[in-house]
Structure 1
């Protein structure tokens, strides 16, 4: 008896501990970030319904205004507490939230952004704006009404430690946001689908009566399951446990109900229309038989999508397992269709109608742009926090997209790696204190300007350990003590341009003004003197332009290349109001001269390598003229303002269309259009190699340097790295390797021997990208695969459909495709002598185009998106 009396309290204590552990496990929000936008700084709360803990958004963004929705809408649609407040962004084109989940990259997250207008601004006018995830377009936010909330949800595999959720003003109203929620998923959830890209939620259904949305805590990943009922259908319910063995199975409460036809011989028919004509769907169907069947009963059915048996991971027909979840899902992206019909139909021997418990529909979304290298990004966020920088609109990713690169930041874009920080200009930024030690992690920076601030202390030694640092400007601060020996040694050797004041600090002078500083041997510290050279060069350009115009006008040509003043350029660009892009040289702006649109490239005052490339491009554009090369309109050389004005290309670059960055059906390129564009580009390169004397090697052929005008005619651009080539056949020149990794000729990369075949190799890589729709470099956990190797592996299978871009849906001439693939592989041959010339490339591509046109002429006419191509234009390697 005494033993039993002692056992009872122990048992009670054990039960209490066990209950505590189970409750804690059920309420585990360690993988959650839950942000209520617009609540007061520092405030937190636990939602009464979901028990989710929410925090203010103040720590995740430094712009915007907070508002409450109009009280009338507080009870509309049974809205969540989180959507009663919001943050709007009347300033800046783009505003970004930055989150850094503790679990980091390599994990899958459910990311949800919520919006409710609620007439917060008393204007009664529903806005429309774009939502971006990182550097890439996610979706456009459109509101059906003032009271109805909108949830945008995506399942995304993180390639960076940072998540940026950005709102972009498109001129249709002020962007705003109500809540951001981040949910860490289990490692295997949706893995098969997310191997193809990210999954945007289209719909998620829990087939049950009622209107309550199932979410956390019933679903530990806080997926939103909308209850959906049809009057013409019957519903099965059970209170028994339904086994959900896998992490991506729906929660118990969802699987406890199922939809079935009213008629014993009926089928389940689910139809939907995609939001975008080019969307590829992934489908997840969840089944569990929640009835106890008798020995003479059988529930067996087939699943059809648009009339075809569903190609899932399990064989059909299928009998759902008693009180156990089985999930059928798309193993590949489903074919594009204007409408989808999902049919679940009983077999002839089945005695019971089919059922379905839950359904998930996702669309595939590609996010091709890589974010800034995490280590570099971490330094920039540390600098922003340490020095409380709030005047530069540093939001989102530092380097991408190009048009929103952070002010004062220079980036290196490498197709095989993440963008890296290579220059940092914080001159006159109000910095106080010492130099942030985090700058030691900017391991490939070549230019650092911290001048004219209030920095104090000693110059840190870690600056001498930055192996790529070539320019260091520290003047206009209050440093004391000697210059680190390593820095002084680099300055003495001429490998570092060092600028530091000689101020009275009570300590020995450590350095001096860059124009007077000498070492003990009397050698001046090297200072780049580019401004005067650039001015002289552009003056020479002016004389050359006049001479070229006179010479060309003798032949009856009307070439209007002229010099513009800086004030004229300001007028042309509407005071530089529309940015088309940014790069190491500076910024490209949209402009208008008369009735003609132009692009204006302005050289940044802090650009180093960009200045050299800028001059080279201006000089080259003055001397070459071809319909497939970008045309020079004019230039600016007004004191410190230098710019090139060239024709505007309305349809951007080739790569943006191949990877779907423009997000419009008309931007999708069919096979004929792709062949026409690469044929155009090949003609431009053929002219440079064979129509110019001396021949010119471009040295940076890639998809982003092939621009498309309003008629989708392709023109080569960006000649900053181009180089004239000796005319003797078979010769080469030795030069420093430049260009874009992934497109670089391996022989040129290893030997510095540049020939016209180096361009041929790069063009072959472009052709492979156009054919396959794949990036130049594919990364997985164990390997980095170049596109030429990827195609070579697939060639062994002998099926052209496994090589050509699946978005084309096999709509191409097989012979044309084989010829294009063989040509591309010949272009990327490792040995340059085995590569074709551009003359030969043009002829082969013309054959590909002819074959595809012949096929099109024999095809029955169908309604398609029509692009304006000049298919009958004649080409030759001579100037216009």
Structure 2
């Protein structure tokens, strides 16, 4: 990969905006360009590409920080065993251990698959009887390991399709006392929102079986790349009972297809060997721990593979337990997908399926493929996403081991040690107190603690923490809403531990000075400058860098040569101290409160504003330091709040025309989505090189201008001509689409800033590949048009094979196939 200094300006600017918006996660813990996450659990090497699927698999170190790595015993390392089944991670300690999959899209539908291959890794010849799997705080499955030593199988797979409520999801293994949990592989695949409509926010689908009827190659197991969604379709045939049909012509998905079965699967079908017979098969319901008679969803796929003569008719009924499954006869169309399915789950002990020709049909029935899912409730609401994210940041900061895995508050019997939560019926749980005392913690107090608005007590005593208290915590301490305890071990015994109260702030701060109108300037562990020192630093305020409503910013140098910017409040400024401080997110170095003079000294941003790096853009609030790292200045709404819809506690919002959220202008109630709107405008400026408001031939919003051209597919007419084609067209398209999503009229329809950052990351990867010479010219996969995968753990699935584990291996050849059981 080329060094950053050689990257094109387009990539650098996109990267700095993404950094300013929220930061970048570890690359090996990111979805790939298709939105796939593919993890080889227990693997300690570097990422690799699987020869069969061409998919890239990553080690699991970036997703989990517990457990131990193992290799399976040599005698179980069979030729057809997939590479990632040769190792695993086990979890002998703790009740719950979790993998965290990040950079997802809140509210999107995902397919999650976990695989397990015991392989006598521990030399005991005794796999766990079972353990539980959870997706977030909702029960998923209890994998059955009874077939682990089967010479033709042994791989157990669990798959679910769920709607993910946050921008991350956790997959947790729970020890139920029946053996040590372990895992071999974990996959996540995003789905279009329209696919599998039976999967909703309240209900998930758990794979029971997925079958490809009569593939011409009986060892063929269809998956990616033949299935762009990486579903795994296992062969299903019975030469004694069924004749087979096939074509080499491509089978097309219908418009707005709800399931998008791949052409490679739909090109083959079964039909009764005796034309007067029916196609028949069945499966039995499998009880679950909390659901003795689970509901099932079935999808049956049909397409006509023969070009019929004028008098030929193929029409048939699909029946369940002797009753019509579908009220009308099915007439499959030539080389076009169709499917019958139930929208609501059925709850029966046995499901007998019979497909029989109608009275006017001249041809027997056919069946191309089948999927069956059981359903699970996903109505349990996890801890408030802001609280969960903050607590996970704190865990990462301090490397807390304890039982801090999975959701902090739920299930209640697995809540994190020394956390107290509040529980409501219809609202997410909130963290109300956090006890981190006596844990030998070192370093600074993390700002993430400020992102726990419901916490009233934080105990940090008995540790060795240093540095200042974050301003957000200081404010809450001062207003009496937070009791912070921070007596360090070296400061005295625990018997002398005291709580930080408002009256203690003077002692904790380097200085505290009263301001006018009840304002107060309380800055911890920052240098206090006198006005005369500021005069020396700035050489008599000789070089002005900028000016605003607060006053002027001057260039300066400290005694050690460090270049700084000095923001001096004008006597004419109407801003108070709170507004003065709130406007800046660049790094503070010190302050001055010297009589009538008030100033801030902060990091010098050597590269000036974003405006100076792109044509004609009003983006002066984005400053760049010498390393082209972005910081936000004078952007008062860019702060963290409880929810996306929470009102921002400010009386007025001062904004430049073209950047201000129209919903705020109508309601005078700004929210964090107001900043999302403004950020979207900046993205459009970056792409187009145009100002937020165009004046020729008449005043027009850049949003309206860009929407008109993009609606016609005219990306070249939108992109800044100064780029001269030095960009990945898919990247630019995606940035423009993100910008338009951010600037929708209704704030509820705008993405969160976390969503924006995740999508910009994909753009950056596209552009980095192009800059490094890997550009192929192909189109990219958007988050809303992605792919997914297979599952179905071992049990009495469909009685379509004599061995119930015959379709459990990812790439194994079923050795005995007898078809459905006769009735």
TM-score by length of 2: 0.54
Identify unmatched segments of 5+ residues in structure 1. 1-26, 480-486, 493-497, 511-780, 783-880
Hey, what does 1:405 align to over in structure 2? 415
Matched, 1:330 2:357: no
**Aligned-partner Cα distance in 1 for 2:190–2:233:** 17
Instruction: Output aligned runs, 1:399-438, within 5 Å.
Output: 399-438=409-448
Q: Check the 8 A contact 2:300/2:369 in 1, yes or no.
A: yes
Rounded to whole Å, the distance in 2 between the matches of 1:195 and 1:386 is: 32
Q: 1:860 — aligned with what?
A: none
Q: Are positions 1:240 and 2:240 aligned together?
A: no
C-alpha contact 1:444 1:468 (8 A) present in aligned 2: no
Q: Show the counterpart of 1:86.
A: 88
| Residue deviations 1:501-532 (CA, integer Å, cap 9, x gap) | 979x9x6799xxxxxxxxxxxxxxxxxxxxxx
| Cα distance in 2 for residues equivalent to 1:127 and 1:457 | 47
439-448 vs 31-40, which moves further: 439-448
Structure 2 counterpart of 1:95: 97
2:226 to 201, 208, 218: 218
- Determine the structure 1 residue equivalent to 2:51: 48
Q: Is the 8 A contact 2:303 2:332 kept in 1?
A: yes
Q: Distance in 2 between matches of 1:383 and 1:92?
A: 19
Change (3 A) 1:396 1:172: same
Which of 271, 295, 318 is matched with 2:282 structurally? 271
In the TM superposition, what whole-angstrom CA distance separates every residue of 1:605-632 from its partner, at most 9, and x where no partner exists? xxxxxxxxxxxxxxxxxxxxxxxxxxxx
The yes-or-no answer on 1:260 pairing with 2:271 is: yes
Structure 2: runs of 5+ lacking an equivalent: 1-30, 492-498, 514-747, 750-823
Alignment match, 1:476: 488
2: CA distance, partners of 1:450 / 1:323: 67
Q: Is the 8 A contact 2:320 2:354 kept in 1?
A: yes
Aligned-CA RMSD value? 2.5
SS of alignment partner, residue 395 of structure 2: helix
User: What's 1:445 paired with?
Assistant: 455
CA contact (8 A) 2:250 2:335 kept: yes
Question: Structure 1 or 2: larger helix share?
Answer: 1
Report the counterpart of residue 625 of structure 1 in structure 2: none
Q: Is the 8 A contact 1:35 1:180 kept in 2?
A: yes
Aligned-pair CA distance for 1:51: 0.8
Q: Secondary structure at the match of 2:473?
A: helix
**Structure 1 residues 151 and 263, CA gap change in structure 2 (3 angstroms):** same
Distance 1:468 1:235, change over 3 A: farther
Given that 1:475 and 1:501 are in contact with CA atoms closer than 8 Å, whether structure 2 keeps it comes out as no
Q: Count residues with an aligned counterpart.
A: 462
Aligned pair in 2 of structure 1 residues 325, 116: CA closer, same or farther (>3 Å)? Answer: same
DSSP 3-state at the match of 1:59? coil
Q: State the shift of 1:460 in Å.
A: 2.8
Tell me the distance in 2 between the aligned counterparts of 1:191 and 1:465. 47
* Whole-Å separation in 1 of the counterparts to 2:74 and 2:468: 57
Provide the secondary structure at the position in 2 that maps to 1:457: coil
In the aligned structure 2, how far is the partner of 1:146 from the partner of 1:465? 61
Q: Does the C-alpha gap of structure 1 residues 141 and 501 become closer, same or farther in structure 2, counting only changes over 3 Å? A: farther
The partner residue of 1:396 within 385, 402, 406 is 406
Structure 2 residue aligned with 1:296: 311
Relative to structure 1, is the Cα distance of residues 316 and 55 closer, same or farther in structure 2, using a 3 angstrom cutoff?
Answer: same
1:291–1:337 Cα change, 3 Å:
same
Within 2, Cα distance between the matches of 1:260 and 1:274? 26
Separation in 2 of the partners of 1:347 and 1:238? 24
Deviations 1:795-822 (A, max 9, x none): xxxxxxxxxxxxxxxxxxxxxxxxxxxx
- Mapped contact 1:455–1:478 kept (Cα < 8 A): no
Question: Which residue is equivalent to 2:141?
Answer: 139
The corresponding residue for 1:169 is 175
Cα 1:142/1:443, change in 2 over 3 Å: same
Note the C-alpha offset of 1:396: 0.9
1:191 and 2:197 correspond: yes
Give the distance between the partners of 2:482 and 2:199, measured in 1 at CA: 46
User: Which residue of the partner structure matches residue 64 of structure 2?
Assistant: 61
The one of 341, 363, 371 equivalent to 2:352 is 341
Tell me how far 1:30 sits from its aligned partner: 2.9
2:118 equivalent in structure 1: 117
> How far off its partner does 1:29 sit?
4.4
Q: 1:131 to 1:429 in 2, by over 3 A?
A: same
Q: Secondary structure of the equivalent of 1:469?
A: coil
Matches within 5 A, 1:751-766: none
Structure-to-structure mapping, 1:852-871, within 5 angstroms: none
TM-score by length of 1: 0.50
Rounded to whole Å, the distance in 1 between the matches of 2:443 and 2:32 is 41
Distance across 2 between alignment mates of 1:461 and 1:508: 14
SS of the equivalent of 1:463 reads: helix
